[in-house]
Amino acid sequence: MRQGKSLPRLVMFGDPARGSVAEAIQDFSQFLKDKAKVVAVCDISECRAEILREIDFAVVLGGDGSIISAARTLSEARVPVIGVNLGKLGFLAEFSAAEFKKWYNGIISGKAPVEKRMILSCRVSDKSKGSPQRFHSKAVNDVYITAGPPYHVIELNISVDGEHVASCVGDGLIVSTPTGSTAYNLSAGGPILAGAMEAMVITPICPHSLSFRPIVIGAANVVQISATRLNEGTTVSVDGQVSTGLSLRDVVTVAKEKCSFLIVDNPARTRWDTLATKLGWAKKPKYESE
């Protein structure tokens, strides 16, 4: 936040083609009048880098997918993200429209906690020595490899820091951040990690082995994945939003990205509250007496 009495500079991201987002943009533009300088209202793909360097906060209107998409870009500029949930779940989009207005003064004055989340770098290159990478993307949630059509099982070789760890025969593999531990990783049986941790989870997808369980490794480790058996449609996906095909010549390298992304937490609830209310975590059984 800039020093002095100048108004905070904000950018609002959202898809105006969605009716709820268009309404929210209009509502927030009116609410923020005389409270902030709204530098731009745009889709994240249309926002110029020079704009991001000049703002204090990014208000993302939508759901978790919108925040994840924005975070890959905003991480470079170290702009804190305020997520306003207009979607279905809103695990990362922690504020409702009413809560954003209620906590606005606390957010811009620094009273709302800002959490730093690690992100991953995914690179795909040919195994041939000296071959340039053909794909690179940041990952906020996860990097995963899925079997794809014709949906036969695939076999992936996993190495960590150059040491062979295991071969995974099954439907694929997930490498997740702590933020993404409550996403695909959780559905595949992986553990939940605290969002501010720095670690990675390696989780198999439907492995043909009862003994292949998810493992948690350090953020400084480098994971490399290559294949000995694939399908024509086998794919490497990043956050379920960016993807590329995978061949037997490829090696996938996943490591911690140098930059992180910053997210403004809702002061009204803890992460544990969010787990319980959004995902039903640790919910008691329904006893007869109740």
| Cβ contact 217:202 at 8 Å | yes
In a domain, 216, yes or no: yes
Q: What is the pLDDT of residue 5?
A: 59
Residues 107 and 137 in one domain: no
Structural domain of residue 143, as residue ranges? 119-258
In a domain, 205, yes or no: yes
Active-site positions read 64
Longest CA–CA separation in the chain, Å: 68
In a domain, 2, yes or no: no
In a domain, 290, yes or no: no
In a domain, 245, yes or no: yes
Residues 153 and 214 in one domain: yes
Q: What is the pLDDT of residue 52?
A: 82
CATH number, domain with residue 199: 2.60.200.30
If the chain, 290 residues long, is cut into consecutive pieces of 10 residues, what is the mean pLDDT of each piece? 71 84 92 94 75 89 90 88 84 90 93 94 88 92 98 98 97 97 96 95 96 96 98 98 96 96 90 83 79
In a domain, 284, yes or no: no
- The whole-model pTM stands at 0.91
In a domain, 286, yes or no: no
DSSP for 55-91 reads -SEEEEEE-HHHHHHHHHHHHHHTPPEEEEE-SS--S
Q: What is the pLDDT of residue 91?
A: 82
Residues 143 and 246 in one domain: yes
| Number of domains forming the structure of the chain | 2
In a domain, 85, yes or no: yes
CATH number, domain with residue 65: 3.40.50.10330
Nearest to 203 by CA among 175, 170, 167: 175
Nearest to 178 by CA among 94, 231, 119: 119
Q: What is the pLDDT of residue 177?
A: 98
